Each structure stands twice: as C-alpha cells, then as structure tokens.
C-alpha cells in the first residue's frame, strides 16, 4: 500500500452527492490537512433524491450540486466535477467509462476512491444500482482505459489527454476491507459535511449518533483501540 507521502493527487468517483461524505469524508479531511490534492467526480446530480415533495424536481439538481460544494468545503476540497448523468439510471456503459477515463487523464491521480461494484448482501443501501454501475465503470476506467493510449484514442488525438496509470484504488465498503483510517479527529467535519446536504439529512435528528455508532463498530472491526472511530476501505494495488 502506498503511504500518503508517496501520493500527490487523489480522485474520488461517486454516483451521487453525499455518497463521498457518508463513506470517506473523515479520511479526506485528513488527506487535505496533510496537503494532498483531492478532487471529486460526481456522476449524477442526485436528482431523484430528497424528501420534501414541495420542492419542484427541476430544482433538485442545482440544489444538490450546491450542497455538495458546501460539504466539500468542510473537508478542504474545492475541485468538483459533475458529469450530470440522470440519477437512478446509471449503467456501466462504454460512454461512462470514457467519461471517467477522461477525468482520470485530466486529474492524473495516484489514488482513486470509488464504490464497490459488488452487491453487499448484509445491507442493501450501499449496493444502490448506481453505486455498482459507477464502481464497475470506474474500475474499468482505471484499468485498462485510462492507462492504455489506444483505448478511446480520441481522448488523445482530439483532447490531448495522454494515458495515465493510477497506482492504487480504495473501495469504501468493499467486500473485503483491509484498511481502517482513524477519523476520530475529523469526525466533527464529517458530520458538518453531511449536514451541508440539507435536503438529505435535515430530517435526521440522530445523524451524529448514527455515524458515531457505525464508525465505532468499524474501528472495532479494524482492531483500533476502544473509543476510536474509523472509516473502512478495501485497498487494491493497481500500478
């Protein structure tokens, strides 16, 4: 596994606004504190989300982009790219692979964080179909698309984007977690980031308690001392 000192840039690829904050915001706050460059690529605008039926659906996408931008600021991230795919309808198409390969070649990250393409049979919500489709397309974009100069050759000939090899992939909620990041010190910023997604979390009175319980269980699973909080990842060597 790469140490953070060997990493300059990190690209987070997710399906919906708020996914990154539930899965990895505490870890990301630590990375930006350490001076690493972190960018987000958000495939949909989450326009099928929300709970307030009085908000016209057409207003949801711009609102959720605004909320994600505010949430990113809580953990030191200002580079956000929204691909604008329709929420709830994402498929791991060649078109999505090309769009993600483009972003990877633009950002040139050492490490990519993306959802697991596998279904979690213990709990359904982490395996939303959009998450699985984005995870599958993102892994294919890392290998082989972004690194193969002859994959989507127009990225090179028309857009001047040279091939790029990502060296490491982190899957939050991957089927076989093998790395736990202690986020006790950044927990409050993770909660603030999630609170910035007002249209999603305003009704969750017990959000901080829920997160604390979840991250404490994760820390125990990772063998961290009692009282610590952790986000779990499956780290995959990709270089």
Q: Which stretch binds Zn ion (CB under 5 A): 17-25, 58-66, 143-151, 166-174?
A: 17-25
Closer CB to Zn ion, 43 or 155, in the complex: 43
Residue 179's DSSP bridge partners are: 233
Binding span for Zn ion by CB under 5 A among 10-18, 36-44, 77-85, 193-201: 10-18
Structure tokens at 147: 């690194």
Query: Residue 185 in contact with residue 230, Cβ under 8 Å?
Result: no
- The number of residues that bind Zn ion (CB under 5 A) is 3
Q: Which stretch binds Zn ion (CB under 5 A): 18-26, 62-70, 79-87, 182-190?
A: 18-26
- At closest approach, how far in Å is the CB of 41 from Zn ion? 14
Question: 230-237 and 168-172 as β-strands: parallel, antiparallel, unpaired?
Answer: antiparallel
Q: Which of 165, 75, 183 is nearest to 111 (CA)?
A: 165
Nearer to Zn ion, 48 or 238 (CB): 48
Q: In this structure, are residues 229 and 212 in contact, taking their beta carbons and an 8 Å threshold? A: yes
Nearest approach in angstroms of CB 224 to Zn ion is: 26
Based on CB atoms, which residue is closest to Zn ion, 39 or 172?
A: 172
Please, what is the minimum distance in Å from the beta carbon of residue 139 to Zn ion? 17
By Cβ distance, which residue is nearest to Zn ion? Answer: 16
* Paired tokens of 132: 């699985």
- Residue among 10, 12, 13, 16 that touches Zn ion (CB under 5 A): 16
**Cα–Cα distance, 222 to 183 (Å, whole number):** 13
Angstrom distances, CA of residue 61 to CA of 106, 125, 142: 24, 21, 27
Of 19, 47, 87, 182, the one binding Zn ion by CB under 5 A: 19
**Should residue 105 be labelled a site residue for Zn ion when binding is judged by CB under 5 A?**
no
Find residue 233's DSSP bridge partners: 172, 179
Select 16 or 64, whichever has its Cβ closest to Zn ion.
16
Q: Which is nearer to Zn ion, 87 or 145 (CB)?
A: 87
Nearest by Cα to 82 from 109, 113, 46, 112:
46
Write out the DSSP string of 100-115.
Answer: HHHHHHHH--SEEE--
**Residues near Zn ion (CB under 5 A):** 15-16, 19
């Amino acid at each position: 596994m790469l140490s953070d000192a060997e990493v300059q840039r990190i690209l987070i690829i997710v399906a919906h606004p708020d996914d990154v904050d539930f899965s990895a915001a505490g870890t990301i706050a630590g990375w930006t504190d350490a001076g690493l460059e972190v960018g987000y690529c958000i495939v949909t605008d989450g326009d099928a989300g929300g709970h307030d039926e009085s908000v016209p659906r057409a207003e949801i996408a711009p609102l959720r982009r605004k909320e994600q931008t505010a949430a990113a600021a809580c953990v030191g991230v200002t580079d956000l790219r929204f691909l604008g795919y329709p929420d709830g309808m994402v498929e791991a198409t060649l078109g999505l692979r090309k769009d993600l390969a483009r972003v990877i070649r633009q950002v040139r990250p050492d490490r990519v964080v993306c959802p697991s393409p596998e279904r979690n049979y213990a709990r359904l919500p982490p395996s939303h179909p959009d998450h699985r489709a984005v995870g599958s397309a993102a892994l294919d974009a890392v290998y082989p698309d972004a690194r193969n100069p002859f994959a989507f050759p127009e990225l090179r000939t028309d857009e001047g984007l040279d091939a790029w090899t990502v060296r490491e992939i982190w899957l939050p909620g991957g089927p076989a977690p093998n790395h736990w990041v202690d986020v006790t010190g950044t927990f409050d910023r993770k909660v603030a980031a999630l609170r910035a997604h007002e249209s999603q979390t305003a009704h969750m009175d017990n959000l901080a308690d829920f997160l604390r319980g979840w991250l404490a269980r994760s820390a125990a699973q990772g063998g961290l001392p009692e009282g610590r909080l952790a986000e779990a990842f499956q780290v995959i060597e990709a270089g």
